[in-house]
Amino acid sequence: MKAIKHILVVMDPMREQQPALTRAISLAKLTSANIELFLVVYNKQLVSHWTFDAEQLALLRKDYLSSKLRWLETYVNEVVEQGLMVKLDIKWHKNIATAVLDKAEQVSADIVIKSTHQHPTLNKLFFTPTDWRLLQQCHKPLLLVKSPTDTLSNHVEQTSNYKVIMAAVDPAKAHDKPAGLGKVIIDASAGLAALFEANIHVSHCYQPVGIEMWQGMSSVGMDQSLPMMDFKEYQQSIEDYHQKLFDELVDDYGFEYSSLHLVSGEVEFELAELVQKKQVDLLVVGMGDNVGFTGNTVEKILDNVHCDILSVKVQS
């Protein structure tokens, strides 16, 4: 991830607290980046209404945008008081994701930060369709920030810096992942860990073949080596394979052995458990282009973790 000089913060007009802004301030203070507060608004009643003509609707929309600008301006002091530069922008658009994607490219944002929502009864993050589309299509690093569980007003002092950052990589040559994505994930994680003076962990979770599948593969002759080994030997060969790939990916970084985690099992559950065990507060993941999220492992993983998420891509 390149140097952070311009942070685009997606503001949420439906809430008083703005966790994305709080995180942006803490990051900008460490990088001397400027912050741009971006608000996307749309009111279908101001597009067409039987009681107003086009000129009246235009005036009502102008007043509506002015009121939203005044709301946005209430957050300026929070940034300025930290000695940071801040810009404001409002966009009238019915699709938040489209507006954010266009804006991020237009201003060459180095990172986009947006708040997620907490599910009121399940105590888990709730990713909106906008979040999923941004994860899929945003070519800039995208930081999704969880909401605080307390009800205090939003101040930068109330959100501590990241203490534990985990890079989730998959060096196996599968799923048509972009070449070099694992390195991009680790580089981004290491860069942020250095900024925040955080502990860094790197994980690779893989799902081994179950005994039923192994027996089936052996019986149909899919792998001629299978009859020569028992199931435990086969499991060990799979682990050795993933260990080799993992070692090749991390060898150049000099990580402590205790910070490297090769885990077998269902990825969406094993990774979530590892995140909780290590008290991770930022999980860094990689996204390829044209990723379909329905039923995808990535969606299941993010649905099970309870920390901030940074999504990165290989930059073309």
The CATH number linked to 130 is: 3.40.50.12370
Q: Is residue 243 part of a domain?
A: yes
Nearest alpha-carbon partner for 182 in 110, 250, 136: 250
Distance from C-alpha of 127 to C-alpha of 248, rounded to nearest angstrom = 34
Question: Which domain CATH number covers 224?
Answer: 3.40.50.620
What does each of the 316 residues of the chain score in pLDDT, given as a tens digit?
789 999 999 999 988 889 999 999 999 999 999 999 999 998 887 776 667 777 877 888 899 999 999 999 999 999 999 999 999 999 999 999 999 999 999 999 999 999 987 665 555 667 888 999 999 899 999 999 987 643 333 444 445 689 999 999 988 755 556 668 999 999 999 999 999 999 999 999 988 765 444 444 444 444 555 455 676 777 788 889 999 999 999 999 999 999 999 999 888 889 999 999 999 999 999 887 544 443 456 777 887 888 999 999 886 5
Residues 62 and 185 both lie in one domain = no
- pLDDT reported for residue 158: 45
* CB-CB contact of 249 with 183 (8 Å): yes
Residues 113 and 177 both lie in one domain = no
Residues 180 and 127 both lie in one domain = no
Residues 225 and 244 both lie in one domain = yes
- pLDDT reported for residue 157: 43
- pLDDT reported for residue 51: 74
The last residue of a domain, from among 150, 175, 205: 150
Please report the sign of the dihedral spanned by the C-alpha atoms of residue 196, residue 97, residue 109, residue 34.
negative
Please report the sign of the dihedral spanned by the C-alpha atoms of residue 152, residue 155, residue 159, residue 160.
negative
The last residue of a domain, from among 128, 150, 172: 150
In this prediction the pTM is 0.86
* Total structural domains within the chain: 2
Interior/surface letters 68-107, b for 16+ CB within 10 angstroms, e for the rest: beeebeebeebbeeeebebeebbbeeeebbebbbebbeee
Write out the residue range of the structural domain in which residue 231 sits. Answer: 160-316
- CB neighbour list of residue 56: distance below 8 Å, 6 or more residues apart: none
Q: Is residue 155 part of a domain?
A: no
- pLDDT reported for residue 177: 62
Residues 280 and 174 both lie in one domain = yes
- pLDDT reported for residue 55: 81
Residues 140 and 272 both lie in one domain = no
